[in-house]
């Protein structure tokens, strides 16, 4: 075992560790908080994202490694590390990341924001007038909802909920000398950042800490400090043994609140006595403690995005309505007429989600010619126009069936509530498949067009979630291709009924066939040697078999371009192994989320058909990343893109991201991610080029 220059353990020289690769991704996000070409409030947003990303990493990944150790599992991952080795490497990496986060926020952003008229200050920095305003806010909005919980022989150590911000307080009785510990939760019913004067904010915990004498009347407050606990976020459902999956998930959601603690975050000035008590009562070790100079839970910085300071934010990019849909709107023609003429491809958020996907489902709900609607629902979010349309369709007597994936991590509770509302509205609801998560993004609408019944399908890379559709980059296609429609119908029969999986004519579907089909395409490309080319754009590559196939193709001379936002477990540019592989990561105002797979010589039979009939190239889009969970344990769908204009659009999107001189990060042969492009600006950037180009394309097209 050795160490690379960036502190990464190298056990198997052929592969990078998944967990450490994720930490490297979060380091790239953190770098955005220090980019001089990004407006200040946007940089603060990236501090918040770095913080929340790290929360989920501990809740899910670190918790899973700890569970493996408790269970006595020491089987190494395919990069050669045991759970203990991975935890050791994580414990070496994370403190440095937190230190860099503190530097980015405390040492750089806070002074720069202050110079721009936005100040985050402590209680000690407030003026007399500001304290009077904070006194008023405290008495009217904060004090009534605070509940101190003392620890003594009659009051055990209180339960500390996951990710809740709390104060640890030591108090003493001046008459008896008795000393006690108390925990005080900072409620989320008021803002975390309290404005005491225009542009001046004090963290809520600072105000509460300054006024602890109001809560502990007659006692002496000796010390206090903020702290926060991360708990195991896993949801363990024995699906094979559950008589009612919905009920089982609801029960596990209640149990998850009491999962084991995996991390304790504390303020840098916490006293040793308080820290030792928290570590002991939470059954942690001091190795599980993260110490911060920044306020704990920097997601509070997102509150600053509501400030009316356009000079400190990105220029607004208004989404456009896809040209053919816009032309149909002007002629008062339904989307079905547009799609019947030719499939429509959509690129969000450059093109509007609401005027396309939401409108497609909304029109299907209202259209008397529509007989049925089926869809998969992974993450719908809160207020959902799509779910309202589905309930309206059911109310109007249409056959509506929705597969709600109630095991979607951290969206389980929301999805359970949506499932219940849909059922009450008369929608046929299926709660996923036993042993698999349904991650595919598919809608199937059956419409009587007069001449025949047609199936209209939407297949995409992103969730049916109007909120994330404004900040996630995704691609989808609406089509009435008969073969795609037949495949989608068979897919839903398999998902909602007892139909056995069959050979699809067009779709590539996991878990049965997708892995084999992708590897076949990679190996086919390798047969062309230096004339071969593979481009893969996805969120993560962490599958050993796929990585080995790409290494073999590289050694055969195939040029391989990988656009990977997050985890990448294969190495790039290593002589004799991956010298023809380049890996780029594009980060920016949008979360790169689409999956595009392009094979230059892909004109091979896939599912009994030639997807590359127009040219030799094959283009695939869909929901699947290249990870074992996607290829083995999820229902995923990729669909070939066959129309020449749609292929050209995908090629243009890829070209912007592979262009020379743009801001990006590239994985080096020594496993470092190197920032490329100009260092004094965040331009040129692929996302801005894509947006400007998309706007130029929106001249209405005649039919």
Residues marked active site are found at 439
| CB contact at 8 A, 703 and 329 | no
Closest CA to 180 of 161, 162, 154, 205: 154
| CB contact at 8 A, 194 and 207 | yes
Closest CA to 94 of 269, 264, 278: 264
The label of the residue with tokens 């403190």 reads: 95
Closest CA to 510 of 522, 495, 498: 495
Q: How far apart are CA 380 and CA 361, in angstroms?
A: 14
Length of the chain: 703
| CB contact at 8 A, 432 and 400 | no
Cα dihedral 137, 141, 144, 148, rounded to 10, equals -80
Cis peptide before 349 (omega within 30 of 0): yes
Count of CB atoms situated within 10 Å of the CB of 614: 13
| CB contact at 8 A, 431 and 425 | no
| CB contact at 8 A, 496 and 403 | yes
Name the burial class of residue 552, with classes exposed (0-12), middle (13-18) and buried (19+) by CB atoms within 10 angstroms of its CB: middle
What is the number of H-type helices and E-type strands within the chain?
20, 29
| CB contact at 8 A, 695 and 347 | no
| CB contact at 8 A, 545 and 671 | no
Name the burial class of residue 425, with classes exposed (0-12), middle (13-18) and buried (19+) by CB atoms within 10 angstroms of its CB: middle
Q: How far apart are CA 584 and CA 564, in angstroms?
A: 6
* Residue ranges in 434-526 assigned as alpha helix (H): 482-496, 514-526
| CB contact at 8 A, 647 and 621 | no
Sign of CA dihedral 118, 119, 120, 123: negative
Contacts of 332 (CB under 8 A, 6+ apart): none
Count of CB atoms situated within 10 Å of the CB of 313: 18
List the end-to-end C-alpha distance of the chain, in Å, as a whole number.
63
DSSP state of 61: I
Count of CB atoms situated within 10 Å of the CB of 251: 13
| CB contact at 8 A, 130 and 190 | no
The three-class DSSP label of residue 132 is helix
| CB contact at 8 A, 472 and 591 | yes
Tell me the residue ranges of DSSP E strands in 279-395: 289-292, 344-348, 370-377
DSSP 370-432: EEEEEEEES---SS-HHHHHHHHHHHTT-EEEEEE-TTSTT-HHHHHHHHHHHHHTT-EEE--
DSSP state of 570: B
The three-class DSSP label of residue 167 is strand
């Amino acid at each position: 075992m050795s160490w690379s220059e960036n502190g990464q353990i190298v056990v198997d020289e052929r592969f990078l560790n998944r967990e450490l690769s994720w930490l490297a991704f979060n380091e790239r996000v953190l770098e955005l908080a220090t980019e001089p070409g990004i407006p200040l409030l946007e940089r603060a947003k990236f501090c918040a994202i770095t913080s929340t990303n790290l929360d989920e990493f501990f809740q899910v990944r670190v918790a899973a490694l700890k569970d493996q150790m408790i269970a006595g599992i020491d089987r190494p991952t395919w990069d050669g590390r045991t759970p203990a080795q991975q935890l050791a490497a994580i414990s070496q990496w994370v403190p440095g990341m937190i230190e860099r986060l503190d530097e980015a926020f405390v040492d750089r952003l806070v002074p720069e924001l202050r110079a721009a008229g936005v100040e985050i200050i402590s209680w000690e920095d407030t003026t007399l007038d500001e304290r009077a305003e904070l006194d008023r806010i405290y008495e009217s909005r904060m004090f009534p909802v605070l509940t101190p919980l003392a620890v003594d022989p009659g009051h055990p150590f209180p339960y500390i909920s996951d990710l809740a911000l709390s104060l640890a307080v030591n108090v003493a009785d001046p008459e008896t000398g008795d000393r006690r510990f108390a925990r005080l939760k900072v409620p989320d019913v008021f803002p975390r950042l309290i404005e005491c004067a225009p542009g001046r904010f004090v963290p809520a915990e600072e105000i509460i800490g300054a006024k602890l004498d109001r809560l502990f009347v007659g006692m002496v407050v000796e010390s206090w400090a903020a702290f926060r606990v991360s708990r195991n976020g896993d949801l363990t459902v024995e699906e094979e043994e559950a008589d009612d999956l919905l009920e089982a998930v609801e029960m596990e959601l209640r149990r998850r609140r009491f999962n084991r603690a995996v991390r304790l975050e504390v303020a840098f000035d916490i006293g040793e006595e308080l820290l030792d008590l928290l570590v002991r009562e939470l059954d942690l070790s001091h190795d599980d403690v993260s110490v911060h100079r920044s306020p704990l839970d920097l997601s509070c910085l997102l509150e600053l995005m509501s400030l009316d300071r356009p000079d400190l934010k990105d220029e607004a990019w208004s989404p456009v309505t896809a040209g053919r849909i816009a032309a149909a709107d002007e002629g008062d023609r339904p989307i079905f007429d547009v799609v019947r003429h030719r499939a429509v491809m959509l690129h969000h958020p450059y093109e509007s989600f609401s005027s396309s996907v939401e409108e497609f489902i909304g029109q299907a709900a209202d259209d008397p010619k529509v007989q049925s609607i089926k869809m998969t629902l992974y993450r719908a979010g809160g207020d959902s126009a799509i779910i309202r349309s589905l309930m309206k369709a059911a109310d109007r007597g249409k056959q509506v069936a929705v597969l709600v994936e109630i095991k979607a991590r951290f969206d389980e509770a929301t999805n359970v509530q949506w499932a219940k509302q849909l059922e009450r509205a008369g929608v046929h609801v299926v709660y996923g498949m036993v042993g698999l998560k349904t991650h595919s993004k598919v809608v199937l609408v059956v419409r009587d067009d007069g001449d025949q019944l047609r199936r209209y399908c939407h297949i995409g890379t992103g969730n049916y979630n109007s909120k994330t559709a404004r900040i996630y980059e995704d691609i989808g296609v609406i089509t009435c291709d008969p073969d795609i429609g037949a495949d989608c119908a068979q897919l839903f029969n398999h998902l909602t009924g007892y139909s056995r999986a069959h050979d699809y004519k067009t779709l590539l579907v996991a878990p049965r066939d997708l892995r084999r089909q992708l590897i076949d395409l990679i190996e086919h490309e390798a047969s062309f040697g230096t004339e071969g080319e593979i481009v893969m754009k996805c969120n993560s590559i962490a599958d050993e078999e796929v990585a080995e196939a790409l290494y073999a193709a590289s050694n055969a001379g195939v040029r391989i371009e990988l656009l990977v936002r997050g985890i990448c477990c294969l190495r790039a540019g290593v002589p004799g192994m991956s010298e023809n592989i380049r890996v780029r990561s594009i980060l920016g105002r949008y979360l790169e989320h689409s999956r595009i797979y392009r094979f230059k010589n892909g004109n091979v039979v896939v599912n009994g058909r030639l997807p590359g009939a127009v040219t030799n190239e094959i283009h695939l889009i869909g929901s699947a990343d290249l990870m074992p969970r996607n290829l083995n344990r999820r229902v995923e769908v990729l669909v070939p893109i066959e129309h020449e204009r749609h292929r050209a659009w995908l090629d243009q999107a890829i070209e912007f991201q592979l262009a020379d001189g743009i801001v990006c990060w590239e994985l080096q042969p020594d496993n470092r991610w190197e920032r490329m492009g100009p260092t004094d600006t965040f331009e040129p950037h692929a996302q801005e080029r894509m947006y400007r180009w998309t706007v130029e394309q929106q001249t209405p097209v005649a039919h």
